[in-house]
Amino acid sequence: MIEIERKFLVDASKLPGCLIPIRIAQGYLNQDPDRTVRIRMAGDKGFLTIKGRSSDNGLSRYEWEKEIDSNDARDLLGMCSNVLDKSRYHMIHQGKLWEIDVFHGMNEGLVVAEIELTSETESFNLPEWITQEVTGDSDYYNSNLSINPYKLWIK
């Protein structure tokens, strides 16, 4: 399946309250851009995901995901060198689902939002809490954040 999404930085102070987070731990068994293999625990559910290389504009790429046994996911996470820790919030804005990730640990301070689209040209309105688009900027790929965390970036 081809995944089409756009990614944005967020001003967390403008987010509405009362959102319910899902805690996510994710690590990478393979970080080759042609076949990134991710293990994720989202709450009490485990997932195995394989992603292909992003298109030149960063908007789309192949993604295959399957729910796996949570104990298997925890065991596989134990094989990962660097595990990301984040809280994910889901929000509907003008009929579109946004996933907002608030990072913890070495990526604390980073808040990003993603929206999945049905086509690269699909239109949508930006919420007021969006500050900057970072679609296609590989620094913000989770796989890269696991090896070059946000707190280490030179500002």
In this model, does residue 116 exceed pLDDT 80? yes
Of the residues 28, 89, 140, 141, which is catalytic?
28
Backbone angles phi, psi at 81, to 5 degrees: -70, -45
Q: Domain ranges for the chain, please list them.
A: 2-152
- Classify 86 as helix, strand or coil: strand
Average the pLDDT over each of 14-18, 80-84, 97-101, 145-149 and give the range with the smallest value: 14-18
| Residue 141 annotated as catalytic | no
In this model, does residue 152 exceed pLDDT 70? yes
Residue 13: pLDDT band with limits 50, 70, 90: very high
Distance CA 132, CA 123 (A): 17
In this model, does residue 154 exceed pLDDT 70? no
- Classify 151 as helix, strand or coil: helix
Beta strand extents in the chain (DSSP E only): 2-10, 22-30, 36-42, 45-51, 60-68, 84-93, 96-103, 111-116, 130-133
In this model, does residue 74 exceed pLDDT 80? yes
Which CATH topology does 2-152 take?
Answer: Hypothetical Protein Pfu-838710-001 (2.40.320)
